Amino acid sequence: MKKLGHWINGQLVDGTSGRAADVYNPATGEVQAQVDLATKAELDDAVAKAAEAQKVWGNTNPQKRGRVMMALVGLINRDMDKLAEALSAEHGKTIPDAKGDVQRGLEVIEYCIGAAQMLKGEFTDSAGPGIDMYSMKQPLGVVASITPFNFPAMIPLWGMGPALAAGNAMILKPSERDPSVPLMLAELCKEAGLPDGVLQVVNGDKDAVDAILDNETVQAVAFVGSTPIAHYIYSRATANGKRAQCFGGAKNHMIVMPDADMEQAADALVGAGFGAAGERCMAISVAVPVGEETADKLRDALVPRIEKLKVAPYTAGDDVDYGPVVTGAAKENILRLIQTGVDQGADLVVDNRDFNLQGYEDGFFVGPHLFDRVTKDMDIYKTEIFGPVLSMVRAQSYEEAIGYAMDHEYGNGTAIFTRDGDTARDFASRINIGMVGINVPIPVPLAYHTFGGWKKSGFGDLNQHGPDAFKFYTRTKTVTSRWPSGIKEGGEFNFKAMD
Ligand code: NAD
């Protein structure tokens, strides 16, 4: 049985806790590895070593830190195939999708090559007589990133890039479901010239997370995962005086106006609803057609597309649309929720509850499902299913449609499909959701913009990547300096405004 340990001070080490979690091959249902789960003592030791390493790294000039990022870009590109294969083997997503996962992370590392530009302070010449004022952006020290299973390359890279380029050391606590790629990325960081100890990968579960939250040296915590855990981590980290950004779950609505190109909208919905088996925080899980005629046309366009989807392991060829979900527990939960939809009166238009893939009977495959006439009170509408299930909610007007998205507790992403600029503009302006697509179903912002949801999809006030990330991973110090010319004056005791 393959054993996965931790990455401490530039090398792989075995865990000492005696506790480990199973890592599955989701296509076969077999356990393919075991990952060590760290204790509080192991976590605290990793942090102490990181704090030592950070003293030197934080004083390394930002251009040199940028060069490490530049080398990392080359190495990730070199190992793209290897990384994607390891990612698919533990997560289950297709190889092109796994490459997308690595690529969207890589783009943030590319952005971080310009760290020196992002870290420049402000300067005011002659703020008063002989007085200059300037600000510096300094690293926080040791920071931590706790990441989910669904993007095991992208989300660790979104944290590592800006945190390390800004001069911090980082404790990365990846998901215990698919820990191999984060360990491989740590190895590439070393090859790129990152000093030992600056990035520590500590595998673990709640024990390791709680140890991060209670460790006094850790200055900031970035979390991405489900909403209940995001809220818990935000509360405990901030109560302990740490900076925190915690991103949670989602229920993303796509509004389809009567004037939309229905074929285009259906193609977009199938990709955004079923890609990666629906295990994306930006997946569209609710389609909201406006008007009965639009709903009927959309349903007619969706059904044949969904019935044609090829669900298979990533090894089954280039035409696989999506693979298994991550664990047996995830599969059971998705099927349970589908059953509640039927029991609560939704119309299950595409029903694959008995889906079984020959030769992979023990794998965690879930066939695609489409519900129509879903209403607000149903569990399948209120809950994030995180599986290949698309719900259709029929709205009679644009106002009713926008109301669904506005009233939902989640606010990660949303989209509108229309040919009318005025409607699209009104939607983008009024909607209370962090990321909006206009005729774009999955509006994930590029590396130089920022990524973050509103409402219960995000706790904290700065987003991931882009300029916000450099704000999150630095603190500002403002210096007022006075160099009097000529004869020194006597002491000045009054708090003075600038003349
Ligand atoms: P999860 O919340 O189960 O786990 C995320 C991390 O938290 C993991 O590292 C895990 O080890 C840790 N964790 C789990 N339970 C914990 C506990 N009780 N105490 C402390 N730590 C704990 O999430 P997941 O299943 O890995 O990922 C899927 C979720 O992540 C979905 O809800 C999805 O929408 C969300 N997600 C959100 C974004 C975003 O940017 N908003 C991006 C990707 C995924």
Q: Is 237 helix (H, G, I), strand (E, B) or coil?
A: helix
Task: Give the integer Cα–Cα distance in Å for 450 and 437.
Answer: 14
Interior/surface letters 186-206, b for 16+ CB within 10 angstroms, e for the rest: bbbbbebebbbbbbbbbbbee
Residue 491 has a pLDDT of 67
Residue 73: pLDDT band with limits 50, 70, 90: very high
Residue to mutate, 224, 331, 462, 463, ligand 1, most ligand atoms under 8 Å from C-beta: 224
Q: Are strands 474-482 and 199-201 parallel, antiparallel or unpaired?
A: unpaired
In which element (H, E) is residue 209 found? helix 206-214
CA–CA distances in Å: residue 44 to residues 10, 169, 210, 469: 17, 14, 11, 25
Residue 250 carries which DSSP code?
-
Residue 17: pLDDT band with limits 50, 70, 90: very high
Residue 485 has a pLDDT of 73
Backbone φ/ψ region at 56: left (φ over 0), alpha (ψ -120 to 50), beta: alpha
Q: Which atom of ligand 1 is nearest to the CA of 452?
A: 40
- Above 60 in pLDDT, residue 499? no
Residue nearest (by alpha carbon) to ligand 1 atom 9: 175
Residue 494: pLDDT band with limits 50, 70, 90: confident
Task: Give the integer Cα–Cα distance in Å for 199 and 163.
Answer: 10
Nearest Cα to 87, choosing from 204, 190, 174? 174
Q: Work out the average pLDDT over 249-268.
A: 98
Q: Which atom of ligand 1 is nearest to the CA of 225?
A: 30
pLDDT tens digits along 340-393 = 999 999 999 999 999 999 999 999 999 999 999 999 999 999 999 999 999 999
pLDDT tens digits along 146-159 = 999 999 999 999 99
CA dihedral 446, 450, 455, 461 (to 10 degrees): 170
CA–CA distances in Å: residue 147 to residues 78, 162, 204, 325, 397: 24, 15, 11, 18, 39
Share of the chain above pLDDT 70, in %: 98
Q: How many angstroms is it from 407 CA to the middle of ligand 1?
A: 23
Task: Give the integer Cα–Cα distance in Å for 402 and 436.
Answer: 12
Q: Please report the ipTM that was assigned to this predicted complex.
A: 0.99
Residue 318 has a pLDDT of 86
Q: Which atom of ligand 1 is nearest to the CA of 250?
A: 34
Record the pTM.
Answer: 0.96
Residue 431 has a pLDDT of 98
Say if ligand 1 is within 6 A of residue 229 CB: yes
Residue with tokens 């939960």: 333
Residue 147 has a pLDDT of 98
Give the rounded distance of the alpha carbon of 45 from its chain centre.
27
Nearest Cα to 395, choosing from 255, 216, 239? 255
pLDDT tens digits along 447-486 = 999 999 999 999 999 999 999 999 999 999 999 999 877 6
Residue 171: pLDDT band with limits 50, 70, 90: very high
Tokens of 18: 């005696």
- Above 70 in pLDDT, residue 67? yes
